[in-house]
Chains A and B, each alone.
Chain A
Amino acid sequence: GDSVTQMEGPVTLSEEAFLTINCTYTATGYPSLFWYVQYPGEGLQLLLKATKADDKGSNKGFEATYRKETTSFHLEKGSVQVSDSAVYFCALTHNAGNMLTFGGGTRLMVKP
């Protein structure tokens, strides 16, 4: 079956540091890939997505590129802010009713 593996957290960075959160997946075919974010006290929300190989999803300064050859979808941001502190989830779907398979989540803590 499908699975998503993320780097374990917490990831602790200083403000303006470069961020990478690794995500790899196991799935048949060509799933769509997503990053969701859960800010403290809020529900998960979609951050960005990519639906085919080599696509780059981007939003709020975050980027991730769909790499079919390495089955990866790593999340990056060039300069993190304290407000980026949250839990980040990588996910995939084969578009069958939008059912998503999620990774374990990575907590990011950004210090001023």
Chain B
Amino acid sequence: GAGVSQSPSNKVTEKGKDVELRCDPISGHTALYWYRQSLGQGLEFLIYFQGNSAPDKSGLPSDRFSAERTGGSVSTLTIQRTQQEDSAVYLCASSFMPGIGTGELFFGEGSRLTVL
């Protein structure tokens, strides 16, 4: 499809397990973002990739969280040793020509993570 694709759409895991969430951005978009949407909370910025530059990891809540972006396209968000407070919807977004700063991000439908 033409939009941002995320998988899995739903993931239930046990506390202490590792999980990987995948994001396939819109082709040609150079910037990719991960946000977290917790119940009753706004969108919390996690990490930002722009081209080949070093990612902005300033929003990652702990060292259990990491992300990579291979070949400037697909990104994987990894959460190690999951905790119940990690339960949330993880949203991926991409944008085109971020240097212009249009502010228009294109979001995927999210991956809902439930940690039991």
Cβ of B63 within 8 Å of any chain A Cβ, yes or no, is no
* Contact A98/B102 with A43-B110, A103-B42 known, Cβ cut-off 8 Å: yes
B19 contacts the other chain (CB 8 A): no
> Do residues B101 and A43 form an inter-chain contact, with CB atoms below 8 A?
no
* Chain A contact surface mostly: loop
Whose C-beta in chain A lies nearest to the C-beta of B49? A97
Provide the residues of chain A in CB contact with B93, threshold 8 Å: 44
Q: Is B4 an interface residue (CB 8 A)?
A: yes
Docked pose: A46 CA to B40 CA in angstroms: 21
Q: Give the number of A-B contacts (CB < 8 Å).
A: 69
Which of chain B's residues have a CB closer than 8 A to the CB of A32? 101, 103
Residue A45 at the chain B interface, CB threshold 8 Å: yes
**Cβ of B91 and Cβ of A44 under 8 Å apart?**
yes
Q: Categorize the interface residue count of chain B.
A: 20 to 34
| CB proximity of B88 to chain A, nearest CB, Å | 13
Task: Assess whether B105 is in contact with A104, with CB atoms less than 8 Å apart.
Answer: no
Could you give, for residues 6-35 of chain B, a 1 whenever the CB lies within 8 Å of some chain A CB and a 0 otherwise?
000000000000000000000000010101
Residues of chain A lying within 8 A (CB to CB) of residue B108: 43
Say yes or no: B41 contacts A49, CB within 8 Å: no
The reply to whether A43 and B43 form a contact with Cβ atoms under 8 Å apart is no
Among B31, B42, B100, max chain A CB count under 10 A is at B42
Min Cβ gap B98→A in Å is 4
With A32-B101, A45-B106, A104-B41 already in contact, 9 other A-B pairs whose C-beta atoms are closer than 8 Å: A43-B106, A43-B110, A44-B105, A93-B101, A97-B31, A98-B95, A99-B45, A99-B56, A102-B42
Residue positions of A touching B, CB distance < 8 A: 4, 32, 34, 41-46, 49, 51, 89, 91, 93, 95-105
**Residue ranges of B at the interface with A (Cβ–Cβ < 8 Å):** 3-4, 31, 33, 35, 40-43, 45, 48, 50, 56, 91, 93, 95, 98, 100-110
A-B contact pairs, 17 of them (CB 8 A): A32-B101, A41-B109, A43-B3, A43-B106, A43-B107, A43-B108, A46-B103, A51-B103, A89-B42, A93-B103, A95-B101, A97-B31, A97-B48, A98-B104, A99-B48, A99-B56, A104-B41
